[in-house]
A and B are shown apart, each in its own frame.
Chain A
Amino acid sequence: MTQPLIDIKGVTHAYQTQSGPLPVLDNLNVSVPEGGFAAVVGPSGCGKSTLTRLIAGLMKPDTGEVWLHGERVKGPRSTVGMAFQNPVLLEWRSILKNVLLPLEIVPTKLSKKEAEDRARHLLELVGLDGFEDKRPSELSGGMRQRASLCRALIHQPEVLILDEPFGALDAFTREDLWQIMHRVKEEEPFTGVLITHDLRESVFLADEVIVLSGRPATTQYRLKVPMDGPRDLEHLYTPETAEMLAILRHQIEIAQGRAPAESSEVAE
């Protein structure tokens, strides 16, 4: 196997709080191959968001190393795109200008016209054509999240980091966005890390699900999800999916300390 695109090696991290250090990550190892899409699930407050900040170079781990594309991450880099649960669109800009924001920071070869065309194309891809000149306040939550996704992709990042981007949406909108994610991945290939609380979301979108243990988090379990191209929602209701969900649910219970731990293994 070639070297993974995202490689997190033995990362340990603790936050300094008033009542002493609070360890959140303990010897965590995660690797995602190029074009892979890993979902990270785990109990709340187990350090999943810390993980995204480490990959994005927004924080440095206490010990251990984070590598992207064969280079050690020492600080923020322009090859990363991020989307959060809060779409954080800039209210004073149109949707199009919001999507173009990263290109004002990252050096780009695109001319102004080409950049705009690309932004329009992305907006069309997520079904927001016709909303380019609207303000974020005129859009619904799901639409804002789609615009935020376009912004994360505009500069063609190698790595897309999604920190619970669909967490605040209603169930139907969320399923909509899952399918859009498949469409986007096909047209705009990326290597992705998805933080989520939703097990169905993890097996629907990702080709590998990583279960983190409770705090301090370490890799407790890894589940490979057979993935052959885009899926439709039917996929959620197959016996295979049901079986995977059962395994993951059990692992989450272990992580929460509600079920006895067993030796962790990697299911194929």
Chain B
Amino acid sequence: MIEKLLLKLRARDAVAPEEEEALLGAMGEVEDIPARKTVVKRGETLNRSMLLVEGLMCRFKDLRSGRRQITALHVAGDFLDLHGFTLKHLDHDVMSLAPCRIALFPHDRLTRITEERPHLTRLLWFSTNLDAAIHREWELSLGQRTGPSKAAHLLCELYTRLQIVGLIGEGRFDLPMNQTEFGECLGLTVVHTNRVLRELRERGLAHFRNGKVRIYDMERLRAFAEFDPTYLYLAALAR
């Protein structure tokens, strides 16, 4: 149940067997969630955090007009709302994009980890710091990159994150969201997103359609997006 989380953490630091036990011991119920269900509502009081075991989820904020900004995507092995452990409610919603499986981590059990296991606590702290680093990169995209380069950058990021948890096969990966939702990550309408994706395809870089991504040329896609994975903190270090 926590294999993907362990892959994600072990790419960055060692996780001792007793720390793995402690994580498993902190895990509570497991739930299956249908696609497009809000699992955390903004403002709701939280007494547990959720680990995404399988599927694809997003964090989003919206305006009264209905315009929605997806502020983060989460893949298997990501905590969806570990920041909710200290915040106790969120300023945004969390929603499934595809059918998902989540594992609940009651906050009292996370509290025990923080009291008994300082290194494991630092690894969990690392993962919320990593979320923040990804947010900063998205800010750069939203503020400064052009549409095609924003889309290319997001595909590079997802490729890298999914590769860590073993979900990439020969330049292809599943991205079970529609083009409206992909556009909501980029701040573009679905029609504009279609134009952007067509440009990536015509340049021979990548193709996204019907929930499937195919990377034609990773080197050129990275160069086009100015993708530098440093912000994903991929080195295994003592943290």
Q: Do A and B bind each other?
A: no
Interface residues, chain A, with chain B CB atoms under 8 Å away: none
